[in-house]
A and B are shown apart, each in its own frame.
Chain A
Amino acid sequence: MNIHVRKKFVVILFTAVMLVSSAYVGYTQQKRTVKGKVVEAASNMPLSGTTVNVKGTNSTVISDADGNFSVTAASGDVLVFYFMGYVTQEIVLSDQSQIDVLMVEEINQLDDLVVIGYGTTTKKEVTGSVSSITSNDFKSGNITDPVQLLQGQIAGLNIIRSDGGDPNGSFQIQLRGRTTMSGGTSPLIVIDGVVGGDLSALSSNEIQTIDVLKDGSAAAIYGTRATNGVILITTKKATPGTNRLEFSSYVALQTVDKKPEMLTADEFRAALDKYGLGNSADHGASTDWFDQLTQTPVTQNYELSSSGGTRSLSYRAGISWTKDNGLVKKSSKESLRTRVNVSQLLVNDRLRLDYNAAYSTAKSVYADTYILRQAMFHNPTEPVYADENTPAQYGNYYYVGAMEYYNPVAMLEQFDDSGLRKQFTGSINASLSIIDGLKANTLLSFTETSERYGHYYGKYYPIGIGNNGYAETYNNHGKYKSLESYLDYSASFNDHRIQAIFGYSYSEQWSESYDAMNYKFDTDLFSFYNIGAGAALKDGLASMSSSKSSNKLISFFGRVMYNYKEKYLLTASLRHEGSSRFGSDHKWGLFPGLSVGWRLANEPFMQNVKWIDDIKLRAGFGVTGNQEIGNYQSLAILRKGSSNFYYNGAWLSTYEPGRNPNPDLRWEKKQEFNIGFDAAILNNRLNVNFDFYNRRTTDLLYTYSVPVPPNLYSSTFANVGTIDNKGVELTLSGTPYVSKDFKWNVIGTFSHNTNKLVSFSNDIYAMDALNLGYFGDDLKIYTMRIEEGWSLGNFYGPKFLGFDDNGGAKYEDLDGIDGITEADYQIIGNAYPDFLFSLQNTFTYKNFDFSFLLRGSVGNDVLNQTRVYYEGPAYLGTKNILKSSLDSDYREGAYYSSRFIEDGSYLKLDNITLGYNLSIKSPYISKLRIYLTGQNLFTITGYKGIDPEISLSGLQPGIDWYDFYPRTKTFVLGVKVTF
């Protein structure tokens, strides 16, 4: 399979070999025909397509489908066997006329191409911090979003599925720490050069490579959108000269990993007794509310892809369908993803056109995580369905009146919430070779997204009884157009090699939305599909709204890569970019990147150090920006007020300024310094990549609090603060053992990051501290705090010292004044891990492969919200409490303290896969792969809650909210057939 992907590269190398060989003058002996067979070492299968060259001559043949070749050569000639991805073999011909050659897969990764945006380079030449994975390294399993492929693979890239096992959940990606207060935090996604793509609309089967630009010098070429790094996706392309069909499918079964441990009905009764609460809260039934809401979900996936064509016109088309059912009843996601790629060569092969079209739909039925919270604290002695005392308006559901206390089964059954998202992306890329070394490239792309969401609360939905059905629909329509055009020049003279690009980029985005709400329906049968039928519209209580906005981004960019003697490398880039979103005098920004590399291994004094195959030192500096702030933020605009006022017997609308205007609104800028090295040692058996970075974000965008008056509103969106992030990343990858039948690959990553909020005040905007992590229910307290000079992610509250004899809690009293007030609060934990690590092992034995991925985090603190509220008898009676309540004599109410901040360090078995590959000699099937995967099979942790791996993005990381959708263990059986 490799051959098709890397064909281009083969051609280049091969040409180079030819050039060298033309200068070679050998002697000739008597020639004869030598026959032989090329066999792939690992599979012991014939290897077709191997280039066999008689060294120093133009005599070259290619091995046939059975690996056989026949070449004319003389004794003493050297035969060179070349196949991309395999170790090149040179065999000196003696007298034999039959030669069998074993090709061993090449371990050396240094010649691998690295996509760096507007071009490529090789691993050995890259000077920025760039990580790559290719489809060969992709893990198997229930991969619903390609982001999952990166999880645990790239040091410094922390990916968390923050919505637990929710099939409609999304992944949060954070690269090298939190660099912003309010701007966007997701890396920029570039799919085949189209900037700003949507990964979830792409099937992972369609992806060839994923490259991640991590440091500022590498990312600066993408300027304003690159602060959070850049993920470059290269999809699989048409393969000329083949005619291939691939089918793959899997089925996945999920079971809940862990659920909140609340009292069972019998334990609940015993607890009522223990705390002397009488039996009025005992409703006589025994209900496991969690079981009432959940199911054992099955997921199915089917994919089909074809490719083929001639050298000048080739295509690839793929279609994928996945139905992912969720743990919570009704929740599901059904995705259809299609993609077509056509490539054409014209004008004497000087012009290459690539057409890409992708269409995807995702149909979601959402789970309301609030029902999980309701189920968690619901009284287990209540029956699910109504008895004779239930008032009629609650329908068939058992009802107990209490504030914010609702029958979760009624909530599940009486609520429909679904969405349909469709996306079309079309692009055409034209690449014209003008003269040798000079190419022009233009990419036009167009993306159109339409989304329809709707929900309907039935007549007996327990919140808003009396609404008689409540429907709402939202429709969004988005459009994105872009042009990326650049010239690419490369040349080499003597020891100098240079590659330069210069380009222009334009993109414009529109979004429109429309929504409508109505209630008081005569029947539940309409759901939200007949929204005009509700009576609330006539009563003036329905609502309707629509909006439209747009923004533009324009830039000029250039980059020069220079290579002297394969030793000294330099990359310099500059992007001049303007966004319509900023203040009139601040629209344009300049984003430079500079990095240098020194390939130490090529210096004469290193030639004797045999155990080092290659070593390169790198240093880089780059500036990137962040513009993910929403449109029109700098303008003085008026909007319609939310309420009318009474004027002389009539109601008049009101109009109000949209915000405090800030014409000085400008880019948030990040400067990053990165040093590191890449080394290949022990015959390329071990690769080491190390990076140290120091990134500083200035002009932090945030909604700063301002005095009223003189301002109209109490906050202004402005550029004020500074955040620092520093860290190290280490990736070790290697092949500890390899033989004819057995191969063992290991990849380990390690990353460590610290951050600090340097400031968020200046002359105009003053902020002492920012309180976050608000617990609104009953407690009304902030659990986190940011102050200047502190790290982000600090938990802030009273320090728990233990229990006293009366079942009360003791807290550290800092101010010496009786009672615990805010003056006694202190930093009691931090949500960010000290370090993250992962270890992936892959073993291949003959046709079997076995791999497992471990992922871990050390030193992350987690605030367990469920315990704050429900570990203790405060709510016992109306509500259920945690089993662990009975472990202590605590008798007071719910209160926040360090008692509930837990060490959330964990080690997870993220993925374990056993596969069997078969090459079949059959006119119908050429390859078959069957695999069995387990995902999230175990977690080793001391954390008392459901799962310590929780959201770390945002300004209030590390809170395990009590409506968490539990993660599942997933078992997958899959098959892949190539025809």
Chain B
Amino acid sequence: MKKILIIIFTLSFFSCTNLDETIYSSIPSDKFFTTEEEFLMSAGRVYSHLLGYTHYYNIWGTITVSTDEALSPFRQFNQWDDGGVWRDLHAHTFTPDHDNIYQTWSFLFTGISLCNQILYEFSQATLDFPVKESMIAEIKVMRAWFYFNAIDLFGNVPFTTDFTDISVPEQKSRAEIFAFIEEELKENAGLLPDSPSSSYGRATKPLAYTILAKMYLNSEKWFGTPKWQETVDACDAVITLGTLQIEDDYFANFKVNNQSSKENIFVIVYDKVYANGGNWARRFRFHQLTLHWESIRTFGILDETWNGFCTSQSFFETFDLANDYRSSTWLYGPQYEASGAPLLWYGWQVDFTPEVNSLFDMSNPAGHNQGVRFAKYEYENGLQGECMSNDYVVYRYADVLMMKGEALVRQGKAGLAVPLFNEVRRRTGLPDYTESDLSLEEIYAERGREFAWEGSRRQDMIRFGKWTAARDFKLTEADNHTELFPIPARARTNNSNLNQNPGYPN
């Protein structure tokens, strides 16, 4: 007995010393990438990453609220100030510590890193499959799009294309990166499909040329080097494909089921079931952002809405409410329930008024129903789950036609531009343009009406010289340094190679 016990005690000292981990509900990286589908499922992250684009704290909110087309006033009962992020964007008083600008930066550079990493995975693949080459081209075009946004918003930015290089990236100039994007797009466009519908929600040839057109269009503003003819050529590269056309109904592009639009070039594909982002920061939630608490009874929405964003009075007044079909972009005046009964809050009918008391004045805050609301995207009856199923439109064919038109006007060829503008304008109910109508001022205003809340306004305001001028709740700026956002302080803490943009505290 005693001996046996001693043996047991002794044995226990020689037990195992193996500390390997057993993994159950995730996958060791070296066990993946054995099939075509596994590569695709990894590459698809570029597109699921895009779901963050429309979030109000992300790039869409940043480039929209900093223009005259949207604001989020401090509303009575201390709501919607959020520490001043919205008023700082709207009044151009943002600093390198601005959180939304950091979120925007993160979105873009995470996208770039994601592309680098996916391209690295493809480069390591021993497996060959039919779509490998075009998939690589797609990822490169998407990376170019992230870089295009990065130089548009921030100017000189960190640059790397090699995932294996773990050093902190150097900052490259806007011009150097411009050249990189230009080359990358031209090299890869040919490998992509001609039609957005066959490759819905992903990078296609029309997308590559649209990005190129946008780069050229802004070249004069960015570098003082006009590239109007290059703009026209890039637009023509889209037009001559013949895969796109202007929808007869303007709002067909924004319906719940807008995947049938022939006009949309590049969309972010949302779906309340399959693509709801998985978390709060990646849902398409314009309904929550702009609608009044009570408006849910107008649209039969089952989510809560937050009574936040609205448009500015001056921007709203650029619309010819009586005649312009696009005026239904806005929700204004007395509101009704779906049944037709007045929409009541506290017994008072909700009535959206264009004027807003103040952007931020605690003693005279904006009222709960001040500011005209956004309703360009169809609000789905019975919507639930915080994510709309409409696909967010990043670029439309109308933009290509109007960019070409603008480049022609700027080249002094307004005559050639007239049919392009009218092809878009025909459906609005407004009279056709004639050559003399097409001043830059009019093009600017028309772009505003056509692309309200579509992410185009910031570039337009800068390109047309409107960005620094006084407008509702913003003074005239002393210089134009806000045409670039500050490089976020947090990004500079992590990367000491980054110099701050001029005009911002270092």
| A656/B279 in contact, CB under 8 A | no
Q: Please, how many angstroms separate the alpha-carbon atoms of A305 and B382 in the complex?
A: 60
A23 contacts B by Cβ under 8 Å:
no
Instruction: Check A636/B6 contact, CB under 8 A, given A580-B20, A643-B48, A893-B362.
Output: no
Asked if residues B26 and A639 are in contact (CB atoms below 8 Å), the reply is: yes
Instruction: Give the complex CA separation of A635 and B31 in angstroms.
Output: 13
Q: Please tell me if A463 contacts chain B, counting CB pairs below 8 Å.
A: yes
- Cβ of B436 within 8 Å of any chain A Cβ, yes or no, is no
* Minimum CB–CB distance for B140 against chain A, Å: 15
* Complex CA distance for A637 and B30, rounded to whole angstroms: 8
Interface contact A350-B78, CB-CB below 8 Å: no
**Residues of chain A contacted by B491 (CB below 8 angstroms):** 707
Q: Do B77 and A402 touch across chains, with their CB atoms under 8 A apart?
A: yes
Bound-complex Cα distance A546 to B24 (A): 10
Residues of B within 8 A of A631 (CB): 21
The reply to whether B106 and A708 form a contact with Cβ atoms under 8 Å apart is yes
Cβ–Cβ contact B38 & A655, under 8 A = yes
Measured CB to CB, the nearest residue on chain A to B301 is A466
The listed residue with most A CB atoms (<10 A of its CB), out of B17, B28, B307, is B17
Residues of A within 8 A of B84 (CB): 780
Q: Are A504 and B12 touching (Cβ within 8 A)?
A: yes
Contact status B26-A710, CB under 8 Å: no
A440 contacts which chain B residues (CB < 8 A)? 5-6, 9
The count of residues in chain A whose C-beta lies closer than 8 Å to any C-beta of chain B is 94
State the Cβ distance, B40 to closest chain A Cβ, in Å.
6
| Shortest Cβ distance from residue A275 to the other chain B in the assembled complex, whole angstroms | 10
Q: Which residue of A lies closest to B2 (CB)?
A: A347
Residues of B within 8 A of A705 (CB): 490, 493-494
- B-side interface mostly: loop
**B28-A637 in contact (CB<8A):** yes
Which of A230-238, A325-333, A550-558 forms contacts with chain B?
Answer: A550-558
- Nearest CB on B from A520, distance (A): 9
A389 touching B347 by the CB < 8 A rule? yes
Indicate which residue in B16, B78, B158, B293 contacts A506 across the interface (CB closer than 8 Å): B16
Give A645 to B45 CA distance when docked, in angstroms. 8
A768 to B491, CA, bound (A): 11
Q: Which of B200, B293, B306 is the one whose CB lies under 8 Å from A646?
A: B200
Residue count of chain B within 8 Å CB distance of chain A: 103
| Contact of B269 with A654 in the complex, beta carbons under 8 Å | no
Q: Does A467 contact B (CB under 8 A)?
A: yes
Complex Cα spacing A401 to B346, Å: 8
The segment out of B65-73, B165-173, B458-466 that lies at the interface is: B165-173
Asked if B64 lies at the interface with its beta carbon under 8 angstroms from chain A, I say no
Q: Say yes or no: A708-B110 contact (C-beta < 8 A), given A554-B19, A632-B21, A645-B275.
A: yes
> Is A653 an interface residue, CB under 8 A from the partner?
yes
CB interface residues, B 106-163, toward A, < 8 Å:
106, 109-110, 112-114, 116-117, 158, 160, 163
Q: Is A604 an interface residue (CB 8 A)?
A: no
Complex Cα–Cα for A403 and B304 (A): 8
> Which residues of chain B come closer than 8 Å to A710, judged between CB atoms?
113, 160, 163, 165-169
**Of A401, A587, A638, A643, the contact of B275 (CB 8 Å cutoff):** A643
The answer, yes or no, to whether B201 is at the interface (CB within 8 Å) is yes
Interface residue B32 (Cβ < 8 Å from any Cβ of A): yes
Q: Mark A880-893, 1 if CB is under 8 A from B, else 0.
A: 00000000000111
Q: Which residues of B contact A781 (CB under 8 A)?
A: 83
Q: Which residues of B contact A642 (CB under 8 A)?
A: 48, 277-279, 282
- Among the interface residues A347, A641, A710, which one has the most CB atoms of the partner chain B within 10 A? A710
- Binary contact track A535-559/B, C-beta < 8 Å → 1, others 0: 0000111000011111110100000
Contact partners of A636 in chain B: CB under 8 A:
28-30
> Does residue B503 face the partner (Cβ distance < 8 Å to A)?
no
Contacts of B272 in A (CB 8 A): 541
A 630-672 contacts with B by CB, 8 A: 631-632, 635-639, 641-649, 651-658
Whether, in the assembled complex, B225 has its beta carbon less than 8 Å from a beta carbon of chain A, the answer is: no
Q: Check B23–A635 contact: CB distance below 8 A.
A: yes
Q: How far is the CA of A714 from the CA of B493 in the complex (A)?
A: 12
B42 contacts the other chain (CB 8 A): yes
A653 and B24 contact, CB distance less than 8 A: no
Least distance between B167 CB and chain A CB atoms (Å):
7
B44 and A877 contact, CB distance less than 8 A: no
A579 at the interface (CB under 8 A from B): yes
Answer whether residue B358 sits at the interface, using C-beta atoms and an 8 A cutoff: no
Give the Cβ gap from B485 to chain A, nearest Cβ, in Å.
17
Task: Report yes or no: B297 in contact with A391, Cβ–Cβ below 8 A.
Answer: yes
User: Is A432 a contact partner of B5 (Cβ separation < 8 A)?
Assistant: yes
Contacts A654-B45, A708-B109, A709-B109 known; A351 to B5 CB distance under 8 Å? yes
Judge whether A427 is part of the interface by a CB distance below 8 angstroms. Answer: no
Who on chain A is nearest to B22 by CB?
A550
* B78 to A: closest C-beta gap in Å: 4
By the criterion CB–CB under 8 Å, are A714 and B106 in contact? Answer: yes
The reply on A711 being an interface residue by CB < 8 A is yes
Q: Are A401 and B42 in contact (CB under 8 A)?
A: no
Q: Which of chain B's residues 280-307 have a Cβ closer than 8 Å to chain A?
A: 282, 293-294, 297, 302-304, 306-307
Residues of B within 8 Å of A464, CB to CB, are 302-304
- CB-CB under 8 A from A351, the residues of chain B are 5
A-B contact pairs, 26 of them (CB 8 A): A351-B5, A402-B77, A403-B304, A440-B9, A465-B302, A467-B384, A540-B274, A554-B17, A636-B28, A637-B28, A638-B42, A641-B278, A642-B282, A643-B48, A644-B274, A646-B202, A655-B45, A705-B493, A709-B109, A710-B168, A710-B169, A766-B494, A780-B99, A878-B77, A891-B362, A891-B363
* Chain B positions near chain A (C-beta within 8 angstroms): 1-2, 5-6, 8-9, 12-13, 15-30, 32, 37-38, 40-42, 44-45, 47-48, 51, 74, 76-85, 95, 97, 99, 106, 109-110, 112-114, 116-117, 158, 160, 163, 165-169, 199-202, 269, 271-279, 282, 293-294, 297, 302-304, 306-307, 344-348, 362-363, 384-385, 490-491, 493-496
List residues of chain A with CB under 8 Å of any chain B CB.
280, 347, 350-351, 389, 391, 400-403, 430, 432, 434, 440, 442, 463-467, 483, 485, 487, 504, 506, 539-541, 546-552, 554, 578-581, 587, 631-632, 635-639, 641-649, 651-658, 705-714, 766-768, 778-781, 821-822, 869, 874-875, 877-879, 891-894
